[in-house]
Amino acid sequence: MAVAQQHPVLIIGGGIIGLSIGWRLAQAGQAVTVLERSEVGPAMLPAATWASAGMLAPYIEAEPGEERLFSLLRESHARWADFSQELMESSGIDTGYRTEGTLVVALDRDQAERLHHQYTFQRRLGIELEWIAGPVARQREPHLACNVLAAIYSPLDHQVDNRKVLIALRTAFLAAGGILRERTTVTEILVDRNQVRGVKITSGETLLAQTVVIAAGAWSAGLPGIPREARPPVRPVKGQMIAIAMPEDAPLVRHVIWGRDVYLVPRRDGRLLIGATVEERGFDSHLTAGGIYALLRRAWEILPSIDEAPVVELWTGLRPGSRDDAPILGRTPVEGLILATGHYRNGILLAPITADAIAELILTGETPALIRPFGLERFHPTNPRQVSGASSEDQLG
């Protein structure tokens, strides 16, 4: 019979969310183990972190009706510079954090009108943006198509190299004393009398824990053993991506560029990422001719100079989408079972705030005010915790 081992905090999933929470806990001296079924790196695909574009862009994506999410995104954005610096110091790995900003371009009258509406709305929110004419956009990015009519320049929408961040997090987490078990799949979450007891893993071992964090991205809802009332409503949303090689001595663009249903993200290593489709296909992660064609056509319309560029990689990723596109953070009705999932299109941006807030919840037993609107209760309005106002701040143990 397999011997049960004691682990105070277990985190399921070694993507950016699981590893950054683990890093914060380990830094605080908390014993913590991250369980990842793959190896941290390319083998994780189609998990979202390796697949991502790494944009830290709360401003240009701000939309009516998403004010709550916007404040969380903005708060996390404000923490990124320090998060990146600390990560670089702890790991010795450059995270590729870049602050040139983002240009959103319009190619015809219709697009320009729509873009101007967006600009007016976002300016009303107090966002720092600049409306620029096509020729000015081309002065800043000479390879842009000559039919670019107008653009928004957003100086505060930044980017980071998500793959380097993940490798840096792995290094920093281990250096801080965290335990990482790769090639370890959680096969069941163990719950007894409404208290989490640990997990079972593929080897047949049982790992005991008083606190288990679900950070398994698009797979979070399907983990066996989660009681129905604690299950996060998360589903996979597929994104196809392309990387082409830019000439090393003369990168085609310096800013992140957005067009209609496409974005282009230049990396310091000379790659230009082109993304991404948004598809509801369950766990299917195939590349498709139609998806790749659409991305390349839209990218080519904005930046015809990509015509000769070698394609160096094609991949798909599965975003963990929630019902309202916002993350699901905090306690569940099961004592000790914590959610950190559903980050959808913003999981890279939201990593610093998620890590700080979930670590604080685990270490103090208090749910930080910033993440209270993002609890599981919002999908289960009849949850007794919420209706009775029963103390949801009791200790996690």
CB 55 within 8 A of CB 159: yes
138 CB-near residues (< 8 Å, 6+ apart):
144, 146, 148
Rg (CA), the chain: 21
Minimal CB distance to ligand FAD: which residue?
A: 347
CB of 109 to ligand FAD, least distance (A): 29
Per the CB < 8 A criterion, the answer to whether 302 and 264 are in contact is yes
Task: Report the residue number, 35 or 303, with the smaller CB distance to ligand FAD.
Answer: 35
Q: How many whole angstroms separate alpha carbon 166 and alpha carbon 19?
A: 8
- Least distance from ligand FAD to the Cβ atom of residue 171, Å: 17
Tell me the pairing of strands 206-208 and 5-6: parallel
Nearer to ligand FAD, 13 or 336 (CB): 13
- Asked if 49 contacts 166 with a C-beta cutoff of 8 angstroms, the reply is yes
Cα gap 226→376, rounded to integer Å: 13
Q: Is 160 helix (H, G, I), strand (E, B) or coil?
A: coil
| CB of residue 66 to ligand FAD, shortest distance in Å | 15
Q: H or E segment at 262?
A: strand 262-266
Q: At its nearest, how many Å lie between ligand FAD and the CB of residue 350?
A: 7
Helices assigned H by DSSP within 249-332? 289-302
Closer CB to ligand FAD, residue 91 or residue 240? 240
What sign does the CA torsion over 287, 231, 41, 252 have?
positive
Q: How far is the CB of 14 from ligand FAD (least distance, A)?
A: 5
- Give 223 or 299: the residue with its C-beta nearer to ligand FAD: 223
What φ, ψ does residue 188 adopt, rounded to 5°? -165, 140
Nearest to 354 by CA among 98, 16, 11: 16
Query: Which CB, 112 or 174, lies closer to ligand FAD?
Result: 174
* Nearest CB to ligand FAD, comparing residues 186 and 358: 186
- Closer of 34 and 137 to ligand FAD (Cβ): 34
The residue among 134 and 170 lying less far from ligand FAD, judged by its C-beta, is 170
| Cis bond before residue 46 (omega within 30° of 0) | yes
How near is the Cβ of 304 to ligand FAD at its closest, in Å? 24
Residue closer to ligand FAD, measured from CB, 115 or 160: 160
**Shorter beta-carbon distance to ligand FAD: residue 153 or 263:** 263
Point out which residues bind ligand FAD (CB under 6 A). 12-18, 35-38, 44, 47-49, 51-55, 185-186, 215-219, 223, 239, 241, 275-276, 317, 319-320, 341, 343-349
CB of 238 to ligand FAD, least distance (A): 7
Smallest separation, CB 81 to ligand FAD (Å): 15
Sheet holding 150-154, edge to edge: 130-133, 150-154, 102-106, 256-259, 262-266, 271-275, 234-245, 311-322
In the complex, minimum distance from the CB of residue 113 to ligand FAD, in angstroms, rounded to a whole number: 26
We find the least distance from the C-beta atom of residue 160 to ligand FAD, in angstroms, to be: 9
